């Protein structure tokens, strides 16, 4: 590019490179979805179409960005996780966040009609998402982050399920239901659901209770009996990030693209999930499932 007298403006650009060797979580969240869900008459408290659409968009993001190892979604939010060895966009925060937000939004809008067949999108009431990147220095921190989101999903869903059952089935006003639920713990809500409405919360849809976990599927590994041996964690404390050559990175990307991206509604708080799927924490592709 030719030099010009204007080029000095480049000096105003600030570097925003995320720390090496850290987990990067990009969380996106629907903007004003309280209003949006009213406008498009989402079912309360959960609209399967809306959640399926979120999941479909997240799957496309994982397919597009092979550096992502896992994503977790609940309500109008999704957390996308890059492995500590990820070198995409030289780990520039804005590039990572904006790419995820815009790719997700594009697919969300593109696929809207597949899920909301009778409710077309209308300008200016169009879905949009914000996003941020957070770094987690240890695998424990990253897993605690994921656990935090899944616990949040459980707490909110139990509350919302109880609240909306009291209103929609019990004929209570919103204010009365809110007052009734004030100060209750999980056991109280379970009891209200069961005693008053015959609903066993345990039998509710797994997607609603656990949220959605998106990842690449390889052959599951046996769970080891020693809980301390979750793969990937033993590498903790390595001070120098493992340098992966460009050609090696390309090979890993190709292998990742061969794997199927799946959505499951499972517990990610306990060790089992991570032990059975060591490729998520190790960042190294597993064995492809043998197809029938």
- Interface residues with Mg ion (CB under 5 A) are 29-30, 33, 76-77
**Residue number of the CB atom closest to ligand DGT:** 34
**Which CB, 47 or 272, lies closer to ligand DGT?**
47
Sequential DSSP letters for the chain = ----TTGGGGGGPPP-BPPTTSEEEEEEEETTHHHHHHHTTPPSS--HHHHHHHHHHHHHHHHH-TTEEEEEEETTEEEEEE-TT--GGGGBHHHHHHHHHHHHHHHHHHHHHHH-TTS--BTTB---EEEEEEEESSHHHHHHHHHHHHHHHHHHHHHHHHHHHHHHTT---HHHHHHHHTT--HHHHHHIIIIIH---GGGS-HHHHH-EEEEEE-PPPPPPS-GGG-TTTTTTT--SPPP--HHHHHHHHHHHHHSEEEEE----SSSHHHHH-HHHHH-S--PPPPP-
CB of 16 to ligand DGT, least distance (A): 23
Q: Among residues 31, 92, 154, 224, which is the contact residue for ligand DGT, using CB under 6 A?
A: 31
With CB under 6 A as the contact rule, which of the stretches 6-14, 28-36, 247-255, 269-277 interacts with ligand DGT?
A: 28-36
Q: Is 132 in the site for ligand DGT (CB under 6 A)?
A: no
195 touching ligand DGT, by CB under 6 A: no
Binding track, positions 62-101, relative to ligand DGT; x by CB under 6 A: -------------xx-------------------------
Q: Nearest approach, Cβ of 201 to ligand DGT (angstroms)?
A: 17
Where along the sequence are the contacts to ligand DGT (CB under 6 A)? 29-34, 37, 42, 44-47, 50-51, 75-76
């Amino acid at each position: 590019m030719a030099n010009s007298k204007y080029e000095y403006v480049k000096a105003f650009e600030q570097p925003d490179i995320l720390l090496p060797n850290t987990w990067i979580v990009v969380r996106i969240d629907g903007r004003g979805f309280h209003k949006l869900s009213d406008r498009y008459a989402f079912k309360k408290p959960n609209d399967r179409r809306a959640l399926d659409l979120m999941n479909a968009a997240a799957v496309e993001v994982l397919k597009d960005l092979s550096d992502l190892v896992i994503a977790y979604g609940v309500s109008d939010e999704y957390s996308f996780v890059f492995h500590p060895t990820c070198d995409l966009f030289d780990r520039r925060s804005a590039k990572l966040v904006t790419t995820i937000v815009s790719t997700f939004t594009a697919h969300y809008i593109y696929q809207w009609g597949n899920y909301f067949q009778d409710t077309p999108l209308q300008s200016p009431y169009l879905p949009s998402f914000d996003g941020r990147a957070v770094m987690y220095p240890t695998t424990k921190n990253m897993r605690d982050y994921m656990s935090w989101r899944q616990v949040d999903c459980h707490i909110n869903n139990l509350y919302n399920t109880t609240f909306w059952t009291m209103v929609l089935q019990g004929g209570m006003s919103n204010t009365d239901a809110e007052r009734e639920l004030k100060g209750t713990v999980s056991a109280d809500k379970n009891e209200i659901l069961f005693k008053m409405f015959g609903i066993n919360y345990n039998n509710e849809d797994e997607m609603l209770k656990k949220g959605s976990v998106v990842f690449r599927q390889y052959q599951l590994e046996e769970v080891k009996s020693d809980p301390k041996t979750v793969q990937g964690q033993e590498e903790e404390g390595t001070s120098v990030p493992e340098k992966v050559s460009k050609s090696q990175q390309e090979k890993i990307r190709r292998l990742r693209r061969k794997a199927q991206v799946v959505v499951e509604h499972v517990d990610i708080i306990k060790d089992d999930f991570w032990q059975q799927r060591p490729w998520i924490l190790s960042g190294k592709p597993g064995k492809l499932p043998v197809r029938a």
